[in-house]
Amino acid sequence: MSMEPEVPETVYVMCPVCGEHEVHDVLKGRPGKSSLEATLRCHGCNRVRAETVRMPKVIAVPVVASDGPDSYRSSVGVEEDERISVGDEFFDDSGNYLRVTAIESNTGARPKKAVTREIRTIWAQRFDVISVKVTVNQGTVSHSRRIRAEPGDEFFIGQKLELEDMDCYVNAIKTRQHLKDRGSAEAREIVRVYGRFAAKTYPVLDFEDDA
């Protein structure tokens, strides 16, 4: 089942003036099947421009979740071309944090991964440690990473995140309700963190001469 397209208040896209990804206000927009014809205002340079923003259709995928000895039915809204794998973690529409344990395809098969539009049901279990999605923008190149956090851990704009192979400075946080470029949000509320690339730094060891 597809969800009705809505015009978002903000989007996070590349600004041709700033030369970087920035949060943009959507002044007006007309949603299409997989795009948004919009008038945008950049938070970085305050310039206004018209742009077609890619907005994939969001599908409500049924979820059967286990919580200890109990189970319940829910759903999660996912972009139709997103790939879901066993072991992925997500918030369902009830606000519970879950880990995928099995995927049932439209044909009844149980693949280890599948594209959203090919999925009949996601089977999952409650999970208390969150894997926060991080998109690191390095010019026109984007890197996808994850960082572990407790549900109450706070992420804030300007924070330096030390990832395995690179660092980044947080410049936007997408929660289930808003896209922020100021303030903070708890990990349990976050859909994705966006950051600007920073080269990995390592401590310099000072070996004293014992002689």
154-198 residue pLDDT tens:
999 999 999 989 999 999 999 988 899 999 999 988 989 999 999
49-78 residue pLDDT tens:
999 998 878 889 999 998 877 889 999 988
Average pLDDT, the chain: 88
Q: Do the domain assignments include residue 14?
A: yes
List of long-range contacts for 165-170, beta carbons under 8 Å, 24+ apart: 165/200, 166/136, 166/197, 166/198, 166/199, 166/200, 167/197, 167/198, 167/199, 167/200, 167/201, 168/134, 168/136, 168/195, 168/196, 168/197, 168/198, 169/195, 169/196, 169/198, 170/194, 170/195
Q: What is the CATH number of the domain that holds 15?
A: 2.20.25
Closest CA to 195 of 174, 175, 168: 168
Q: Do the domain assignments include residue 144?
A: yes
| Domain with 141 in it | 130-198
Q: Do the domain assignments include residue 102?
A: yes
